[in-house]
Amino acid sequence: MKLNTTQLLRATLKNGDLIQSIPVEVLNGLEQQFINEVKSQIDLQVQPTLQSVTRSLLEQTKPEHTSQIMELATLIQKADVIDSSTQQLQLYAARRQAARKLMQILLTIEEPGTKEEREINLRLDQLKLDITTQFGKPTNAKSSDTRV
């Protein structure tokens, strides 16, 4: 499945818990600002909407970024509404892409054992754990005890 971050961003407006699951490595700067604004509205116990988040971003940023914010808002508005299973597939794709990006960064580090390398390895371990937790081994619905 191809990663579509705008679908995930739209889904965060309805499912605030999803925000914690999206790896920031797959988001561009403006998408990260969008997520942060959704988080702050949830922290204020306000139900975020596309309009409220966009309005807040427009108030916080410089006028030259207005067109980029409006473009992102339009993309989010036009994004398909996805069900929970598609959200999970999108999260899987996001985590895989984030892991690839981190591996590319890791390959560019010249000195082994640096703090940056340790942090990247920790993040890679966390992404791997998230993926295995998300798609753990299926449980067998049939009971192992089949006595009649």
pLDDT digits (tens, 9 = 90+) for 98-118: 999 999 999 998 888 889 999
State residue 58's pLDDT score. 94
* Residue with more model confidence, 77 or 140: 77
Check whether 1 has a pLDDT greater than 70.
no
Check whether 3 has a pLDDT greater than 60.
yes
Residue 145 included in any domain: no
Domain that holds residue 126: 5-134
**Distance separating alpha carbons of residues 58 and 63, to the nearest angstrom:** 8
Residue 148 included in any domain: no
Total tally of structural domains belonging to the chain:
1
Residue 147 included in any domain: no
Structure tokens at 29: 């700067």
Check whether 144 has a pLDDT greater than 60.
no
**Distance separating alpha carbons of residues 49 and 63, to the nearest angstrom:** 22
CATH number at residue 31: 1.10.860
State residue 2's pLDDT score. 82
